[in-house]
Structure 1
Amino acid sequence: MPFGINLSFCVKRWVTPELWTRVVTERLGLDLVQLSFDLVDPMWPDAILDRHAAALRTCTAQAGVTIHSAFIGLAHYTYNQMLHPDPAVRDYAEEWFGRAYRFAAMAGITRVGGPLGAIASRFDGVEPDALDPADYADLIARMHRLAERAAAEGLSELYVEPTPMRREWPWTIAQAKAMMADVAGSAVPWRYCVDWGHGTHEPLYGADHGAMVPWFMELKPFISAVHIQQTDYQFDRHWDFTVPGRVDPVDAAALLRRTGIAPAPVFLEVFYPFEQDDLSILSALEITSARLRQAFA
């Protein structure tokens, strides 16, 4: 079962491929990564992006590291992206993704993804169960256009990451199935990268919803990558596995094999406070990586 790490832990720390490839290979014993666009902003001028793409190709080749995919990261995720109330902001977000595809192609990365957007909150605080039909139709149209742009860049796959929030889409299995039906036949296939801390969020789904089992069983044809994290099922924690929680790596690996998801790569995705010292992070990641490598072997 391929196991790697999302480079979210590198943000504001090991920010160049010369730095993070050594951490990944020498400290964590890994050779598979998922790039975070917190390390490279697709809206940088082309000359800067071209230079960074070349550096990625060179450094990963020298280190023997494979970049499976690139995800949007936290910075762009904080915006409402392609569900913002202002259509001009949606246009900008669509262009952001298009430029992300361009950079990925130059860097030799063939898959890009992440959450797609969030609607604005209501004044009364009530969160609707469904998107406005016009907003949903607009999102699907943008996904089809983005697939055409990805095809032009030579990409092979695009990801949506479901999140456990009513303001984002999709957040239920039924919505996820409907979205895949609505983007079927796009120029590049859309697939899901599901996250252990998203599908297990009890405040939204309830304590008896089956955790990740229904997500894996019912969306199996559309899942081609997985994020794993330690969490307590109460919030989207993104803890490493030195922290007590409810995710057992051995049980997680067994579930992935039992449901047939196992051929898909699994990426540890963890975040740390910016003020936390680097050495403690490296130590925690070394322990976590060793545990997960053993579980997924």
Structure 2
Amino acid sequence: MATPLGINLSFCVKRWVTPSLWAPVVRDRLGLDLVQFSFDLVDPTWPDEILDDLAAEIAAVPERHGVTVHSAFIGLAHYTFNQMLHPDPRVRDIAERWLGRAYRFAAKAGIARVGGPLGAIASRVDGAEAEAIPPADYDDLIARMRRLAVVAAEAGLTELYVEPTPMRREWPWTVEQARTMTADVAGSAVPWRLCVDWGHGTFEPLYGRYRARMEDWFEALAPEIGAVHIQQTDFQYDRHWDFTEAGAVDPTAAADLLARTGLADRPVFLEVFYPFERDDRSILEAVARSAAILKTAFSRG
């Protein structure tokens, strides 16, 4: 089975910021027809009249450009905040409302799925990091996830994603934590599933040199995984390099692993980030080359 291959629009931030710009780039320059929208391109807190117009533009993308918008992820801007694990519950409330507005925008834009990391507890003054977030914070997070599923269902979404990250201050960051979380939100108004990232599950400084393996995530959590992010990385940091860079991720081996673990039918999105000062042409060339490399690897079937 050929694995569905797309791209997260993270590479478009501050550059190809409207559908009339990013859709032709994706379809004509990259030769792809599947994208994951980024809320770095649209802030759900903007005025409703602006959001409605922007949503209508995105909703027209499949017919106008032949590109399907599979899902929307929160992006880097919102991720920089502690979101629903901030020490001040008022900030958690704001983050919950932010996601609710993101859900409503996505639904109007014809996007049926929304996801991303959900939050981070604050660091301790002494720099020590615990092996888990406090139980009260976890319970509060689960309650918010269940409330958000109701909001998503009312908006018309079909699926929500949580993205595990390789940090002890966020949740989940281990396979077992991910299994526990998906069990604790089972039966929500809209199902919560996982979007796992190749640079997160292979982060050796956290998991250890011989235990940082995507196999562990795929084999243990395959039924709960709805999408996958792929990037080039060296397993030392969450690099989000493209595949013109030298790294430890082999696209052919990645495709084979997905097939072996029963995940060949899940969409895989290239997720790459670039310095804002880098020139546009070199980014287009690098992303196009990366898309070609991945298409070769993932089109077998």
- Structure 2 length normalisation: TM-score? 0.98
What whole-Å deviation, never above 9, does each CA across 1:40-97 have from its counterpart, x for those lacking one? 1000010000000001112332001100000000000000000000000000000000
- AA at the equivalent of 2:171: W
Amino acid at match of 1:253: A
Deviation at 1:261, TM superposition (A): 1.0
The CA distance in 2 between the partners of 1:67 and 1:165, in whole Å, is 29
1:85-124 alignment to 2 at 5 Å?
85-124=87-126
Partner of 1:9: 11
1:166 and 2:171 are equivalent in the alignment: no
Alignment of 1:65-104 (within 5 A): 65-104=67-106
- What is the match of residue 193 of structure 2? 191
CA distance in structure 2 between the aligned counterparts of 1:4 and 1:169, rounded to whole angstroms: 26
* Whole-angstrom CA distance in 1 between matches of 2:254 and 2:153: 34
Q: Is the 8 A contact 1:196 1:228 kept in 2?
A: yes
Provide the C-alpha distance between the structure 2 equivalents of 1:108 and 1:272, rounded to a whole number of angstroms: 28
1:159, distance to aligned residue in structure 2 (A):
0.1
Question: Displacement of 1:221 after TM fit?
Answer: 1.1
State the SS of the aligned residue for 2:121: coil
Distance 1:264 1:152 in 2: 26
Deviation at 1:133, TM superposition (A): 1.0
Instruction: Note the alpha carbon deviations across 1:19-53, whole angstroms, 9 max, x for none.
Output: 00010011000000000000010000100000000
Shift of 1:210: 4.9
| Runs of 5+ consecutive residues of structure 1 not aligned to the other structure | none
Q: Deviations over 1:104-133 (max 9, x none)?
A: 000000000000000000001001111111
* Partners of 1:231 and 1:113 in 2: CA distance: 22
Are residue 156 (structure 1) and residue 173 (structure 2) matched? no
Asked if the contact 1:164/1:198 (under 8 Å) is kept, the reply is yes
Query: Residue 268 of structure 1 is aligned with which of 261, 267, 270?
Result: 270
* Identical positions, percent: 71
**5+ unaligned residues in a row in structure 2: which ranges?**
none
Task: State how many pairs are aligned.
Answer: 297
Q: Which residue of 2 aligns with 1:53?
A: 55
Contact residue 82 and residue 120 of structure 2 kept, 8 A:
yes
Question: Structure 2 residue aligned with 1:220, among 212, 219, 222?
Answer: 222
Aligned-partner Cα distance in 2 for 1:275–1:73: 19
| 2:200 partner SS | helix
- Residue 56 (structure 2) pairs with residue 19 (structure 1): no
Three-state SS of the structure 1 residue aligned to 2:131 is coil
Match of 2:259 in 1: 257
CA RMSD of aligned residues (A): 0.6
Q: TM-score, normalised by structure 1?
A: 0.99
SS at match of 1:199: coil
- 1:211 has 2:207 as partner: no
SS of the equivalent of 1:219 reads: helix
